[in-house]
Structure 1
């Protein structure tokens, strides 16, 4: 309960204007344990990584200023809606999502406000129908599932220093970049790769939060639609000690990249997906956390979002801990990290602790005392943020890779 209270997540959970709610499970404690493990691995290096794991879970809201909104996500792009047999989380975050939602429900929607039509359709369709259609169409949505079967925790192998290692980061948004950021803090050289047509969408978000995750990293743009671009991508991956990506395997194959081949050469490959590499499911931090079972409940039993896209920072922290490990023989390894599984592994039951208002602020009263409900906390960005592709020529030349 104290980990939850300190995390800032409780302050982001509940109805707007209502009391903050303590989430179920132990995600904040898992975050503390992962951050402590990273600190232990790096404490003997010149770049020890000392971060507050629970506070990482709510950090973005400290930059954006967003607060709890109940059944609407903190960022506003995801909603919890009733189906004919339960509840579902549906995201509408990308520019083409309104048209995809129209395809999902087989009717035109108001692109400025697709929610009434989507809500009407869900009321007459089951969660299973939603899941099947969402995966087929690439919609970030899923029914809220039971958590009776909880995957086991992800356990690192042999700790290893990443100082001086080359990290090639193909990921975007929050989970993968947080992993890369933590590896960078530990002394790794991080190269962010974007394409001419698809820069990281987070660049359009809060600039200070983007700077926190990307400050000091090199920015490279390569075009996988050209033979020269694919060759440079392949050589960059060959040079990497660690690769981070958050794409479905078929998308990477279009780039001419093969995780198994890289692992066979000794690369640590960190693959972050919604539900594992064997699934075609699409998802973001809010809908994935909710559909995995991490929701709080209102007084009438209806589900409410927990924190701000909590699956993202929880997965990013987990991925960084795993990347700071390797098989004992030093061979390559493929970490197949399912964001849904990472969240589900933290669920151990409902909380019975309620928040109370005392002396003008919210507290949790536990058997061991009173804990203040902390607000989200922001760290100070360090290092300059490179523009899209700013370092392409210098980075490739430093690695002996031909510039396309």
Structure 2
């Protein structure tokens, strides 16, 4: 995914990637820290790993991947900047507890409606955060997180998740080793991490079908159109209800070479649409992105990019307090890691279920040593992506074409 060429300052005199310069030039520093204080550079080294992932994708597929812009481009489109203990997008807050820190996300209308039950008070103003902060300040972080999750709110205790690689299990017979050209990818994901992975696969030559429910389309359709197009242009769009049109979706999944899933696993499993319910196709790769994995006490809990970052400990530091790092940074990092995981599985012949936890991805990056930066180092605002494709397809615009594609593939089996 090419956007702007990384500034020449991001390459040292020996031609090596300079993470600190890239952190400054991309806008990631601009997005990390308190608005009235200097930008925070402590997490700049994470770009070393992210850049290596981007180079792997480029080497395998031939597409240009501008990692710093992928991480900061949305902020440029939305005009975001650093806000300290509030996420750049404004939906997530870092909350001081009696024994540490936790994060809470209120990004959906239903989340806001739940606040009185969370704080056990009907006296909540239009801006709920002061009441939430007062309530949290009297409780330990684990209790805050547990109560929020009981109410199905996205929440996390700082550093509760440890780093872990993708979980890989056999899900069918292996196939021949192949590239992405003409692979059929079914994209069941929404928001950012999964759609980014699907977008990169599409640019590498795959045929990508974005699946959306007419009743509940991808939530980012209601936001900035340029961001939605950046993530979703070039994909076919199939619209269908998971319940009333489950058979049609089952046929689509049966002929797919790669399936990208971003919902809670139970949502598909209870409809007989999970990776072990669909007839095995040789070499099929089923990649599942979750917030907190599929096993253990946190399995199944919903997560967004900023609270998942807090779960993994991927935060900056300013004035002795944690601050949000970048803009929902776990989303694009997970999208890049997911793309690399798909390419790795292709090289093994597929036949695998690959699971990535966003919180574990954040923890993997958080485990990298921090950086001590020259305080005179300056930062620039994020740069608007220049490679936004044509307008993405409307919900269901390609349903008939996808049905024909499925019929052709079924006939060829």
Instruction: Give the TM-score category using the shorter length.
Output: 0.7 to 0.9
Provide closer, same or farther for how the CA distance between residues 106 and 293 of structure 1 changes in structure 2, counting only shifts above 3 A. Answer: same
Structure 2 residue 134 is matched with structure 1 residue 114: no
Query: Which of 378, 387, 391 is the equivalent residue of 2:394?
Result: 387
Query: Which of 125, 128, 138 is the equivalent residue of 2:142?
Result: 128
Query: Which of 231, 236, 261 is the equivalent residue of 2:247?
Result: 231
1:11 is paired with a residue whose SS is coil
Structure 2 residue 338 is matched with structure 1 residue 319: yes
1:72–1:78 CA contact under 8 A, matched in 2: yes
1:77–1:91 CA contact under 8 A, matched in 2: yes
- Structure 1: unaligned runs, 5 residues or longer: 43-47, 364-372
- Superimposed CA distance per residue, residues 114-135 of structure 1 (whole angstroms, 9 cap, x where no aligned partner): 2122112211111111232233
2:309–2:330 CA contact under 8 A, matched in 1: yes
2:255–2:281 CA contact under 8 A, matched in 1: no
Which position in structure 1 is the counterpart of 2:195? Answer: 177
**What's the CA shift for 1:19?**
1.4
Which position in structure 2 is the counterpart of 1:101? Answer: 115
1:2 is paired with a residue whose SS is helix
The TM-score normalised by the length of structure 1 is: 0.87
Which position in structure 1 is the counterpart of 2:36? Answer: 17
2:372 is paired with a residue whose SS is coil
**What's the CA shift for 1:236?**
0.6
1:84–1:124 CA contact under 8 A, matched in 2: yes
Provide closer, same or farther for how the CA distance between residues 236 and 152 of structure 1 changes in structure 2, counting only shifts above 3 A. Answer: closer
1:336 is paired with a residue whose SS is strand
Matches within 5 A, 1:228-307: 229-262=245-278, 264-266=280-282, 267-278=284-295, 279-299=299-319, 301-307=320-326
- Superimposed CA distance per residue, residues 260-291 of structure 1 (whole angstroms, 9 cap, x where no aligned partner): 34484332111111111220211100111122
- 1: CA distance between counterparts of 2:262 and 2:365? 21
**What's the CA shift for 1:231?**
0.2
Which position in structure 2 is the counterpart of 1:397? Answer: 404
**What's the CA shift for 1:349?**
3.0
- 2: CA distance between counterparts of 1:270 and 1:114? 37
Which position in structure 2 is the counterpart of 1:165? Answer: 183
**What's the CA shift for 1:309?**
0.2
Q: Decide which moves more: 75-84 or 23-32.
A: 23-32
2:354 is paired with a residue whose SS is strand
- 1: CA distance between counterparts of 2:337 and 2:40? 25
**What's the CA shift for 1:186?**
0.3
Structure 2 residue 85 is matched with structure 1 residue 68: no
The TM-score normalised by the length of structure 2 is: 0.85
2:101–2:141 CA contact under 8 A, matched in 1: yes
**What's the CA shift for 1:191?**
0.6
Provide closer, same or farther for how the CA distance between residues 17 and 286 of structure 1 changes in structure 2, counting only shifts above 3 A. Answer: same
**What's the CA shift for 1:24?**
2.8
Which position in structure 2 is the counterpart of 1:151? Answer: 164
Which position in structure 1 is the counterpart of 2:369? Answer: 349
Q: Decide which moves more: 4-13 or 197-206.
A: 4-13
Judging by fraction of residues, say which structure has more strand.
Answer: 1
**What count of residue pairs does the alignment treat as equivalent?**
379
Query: Which of 11, 35, 51 is the equivalent residue of 2:65?
Result: 51
**What's the CA shift for 1:185?**
0.5
**What's the CA shift for 1:2?**
3.3
- 2: CA distance between counterparts of 1:107 and 1:210? 37
- 2: CA distance between counterparts of 1:284 and 1:263? 31
1:140–1:287 CA contact under 8 A, matched in 2: yes
Which position in structure 1 is the counterpart of 2:235? Answer: 217
**What's the CA shift for 1:165?**
0.5
2:42–2:373 CA contact under 8 A, matched in 1: no
Q: Which runs of 4+ in 1 moved over 6 A?
A: none
